[in-house]
Structure 1
Amino acid sequence: MQLCEQVQVEMVPTDAIQKADRSPVTVADFGSQALICKAIGDAFSDDVIVAEESAQALKENASLLERVTGYVNRFCKETPHSAETVCEWIDRGSGEVGPNFWTLDPIDGTKGFLRRDQYAIALAYIVDGTVQLGVLGCPNLPYQLNDEDAERGCLFVAIRESFESTHGDSEAHGSIANALGITESPVRMDSQVKYGIVSRGEASLYIRLPNPAYPDYRECIWDHAAGLIVVEEAGGTVTDANGIPLNFLTGKRMHENRGVVATNGKLHQHVLKALAKS
């Protein structure tokens, strides 16, 4: 989190580039992934990590790689490491989905990060398709959502015991809210921070439906795994729009699931019924 916060303060225009899918990636995305993958690799050397970023773009951009390496060394309490080593740490996240694996989004909500708005560092550990551990670091989230003077920076951790409007269907979200009698305006923000505010009771539900222009779109596992367990361990419920549990074993995208619904639990069946009628 400290690396991301520092990059946000010192960021220059060349610290962000566009990936092949036209989504942005920044020095902070790469640096965050490097440090987290290093920490997991040092503690659990045989564990598989499925992360969002690859070091390939860095290897093709010397100045960006230099910036990333500088930030990583600033926050790595060891002898300075080479750019090659930093790339190796990032690429520890190139694993594939299997029986046991970590999934990481080093910055969930990069556009929010670039606006100096909400974003999250999201990490989850999945065993046989079930999320067992989730961590959400939300550096810009106030302790109380509606208190502008509240301190910022929240960490959500859950262990299971034995705003991008173009991403979703805003019209459908509104009709569902009307069907449920919800009159409050929706809170729009980027990243899995939304799961965090549901878990602490500042929102009753979070709905994410595919944009009608892209009906076959399916969600990435790293965008939801950590948030799911944070909500569930707080007593809430998370499924897809059809009430089916999220399946994290179909690859990097949840091909068997359509959309996501996260609620405080009490509303869940009512939301699913409203979705079925919409």
Structure 2
Amino acid sequence: MDSTYRRELEAAIDVAQTAARVSREVLATAQAAATEGSFDLVKDDLSPVTVADFAIQALLTRTLGNTFPEDGFIGEESADELRQNPKLLSRVLAVVAQCAGNTLFRDADDLCRVIDSCATLAPGTGTRRIWVFDPIDGTKTFIRHEQYAINIALLEGGRQVLSVVALPLLSVDVTAPVVDNTVDPTGRGTILYAVRGHGAYIRPLLAESGGPPAARRLPRHADDATSPEDLRSVTCWALLDSGVDVVHKGVAEQLRVPFPGCDLLGWVPRWAVMAVGAANMTVWVYKKRDRYAKIWDHAGAMLLFEEVGGMITDVHGKEIDLTAGRKLEANFGFVAAPRSLHQLVLKAVHDTLEAEGKEELLQ
């Protein structure tokens, strides 16, 4: 890909491959020890955190920070848990050293400072470039050796300009329906990447013998969807937690779209399957009006779908505002669909909310 972000793209792809090795090593170690629970930690929000989350956030921040020292960084994790758990901290240092060398961090304090450097920064409307990371999107499925993603985004002035997503368990030849336990039989995995205005690309994560993997540009398949019969859904149904199930199903029924279609826990894998064409529509309405998405689950990954012809707004039809903060408090929920069908899907969301007596979620 020839663009002004070529250096950033190459650096992000390179570190994403190392991050994927970290994730694979953590899984392999847990499996060998047959004590995968020892790799888990419960945060205040009750989501599991693994060695890989901390190790990958530290790796991404330090590596890209060394290359682009003027940029800012946003990540999901803080180092508080590591400071309180020396055994966990030791494991994080060990896996980083194994996969990226033992000179990346001076000591444990250095690693914790790097993690914390992106734990409080929030995006703004200025010109400063901000990298956004989700070290492991789908930690609940990750510890079950199911679909997960490593998400890297670059924002400039609050606008997505670059995306690199590593999916170590997704095949480049995947077809619908994709669910959490759809695992690449070859073990090679996938990298998706995009630069705004230059399209989205796909290539294997791991190379075979004979040189680096070849990439191919994804077609703008969403441009070809012109009627409701062309819609294909991706949602989170089997592990539904924060969403309004009757609305998601009701929208699909109104549009006569097979439901659930692709069924994935992680948001980044959902955006990925929309990019590759296994789906082209998703709707998400939170159960509570004060529930907001987190920037690292969506920034960059949304660009993949936009670069194949998709349109993304919130439930009110507003553009997603990535300058609002670490939580996307300027938006409520998501409606994504091919551009020519987006208004139809949005109307179905509003009609279904009213039919289910949930108009308050539109306020």
TM-score (structure 1 length as normaliser): 0.93
Distance 2:136 2:184 in 1: 25
Match of 2:258, as an amino acid?
T
Match of 2:191, as an amino acid?
L
Residue in structure 1 matched with residue 123 of structure 2 by the alignment: 97
Moved more, 41-50 or 265-274: 265-274
Q: Per-residue deviation at 1:6?
A: 1.3
Distance 1:183 1:230 in 2: 23
8 Å CA contact 2:51–2:91 kept in 1: the answer is yes
8 Å CA contact 2:280–2:338 kept in 1: the answer is yes
Give the counterpart of 1:174 among 225, 246, 249.
Answer: 249
Residue in structure 1 matched with residue 278 of structure 2 by the alignment: 202
Q: Per-residue deviation at 1:88?
A: 2.3
Match of 2:130, as an amino acid?
F
Matches for 1:113-192 after TM superposition, within 5 Å: 113-143=142-172, 144-146=174-176, 150-152=185-187, 153-161=189-197, 163=236, 164-191=239-266, 192=268
Structure 1: state its 5+ residue gaps.
none
SS at 2:93 equivalent? helix
1:240 aligns with 2:314: yes
Residue in structure 2 matched with residue 57 of structure 1 by the alignment: 81
Greater CA radius of gyration, 1 or 2? Answer: 2
Residue in structure 1 matched with residue 47 of structure 2 by the alignment: 23
Match of 2:75, as an amino acid?
A
Distance 2:256 2:270 in 1: 21
Q: Per-residue deviation at 1:14?
A: 1.8
TM-score (structure 2 length as normaliser): 0.72
* 1:113-142 CA distance string (max 9 Å, x none): 112111111111112221111111111112
* 1:11-49 CA distance string (max 9 Å, x none): 232211011121111101001101100111101112111
8 Å CA contact 1:133–1:158 kept in 2: the answer is yes
What number of residue pairs does the alignment pair up?
276
Q: Percent identity?
A: 32
Distance 1:180 1:122 in 2: 31
Match of 1:118, as an amino acid?
Q
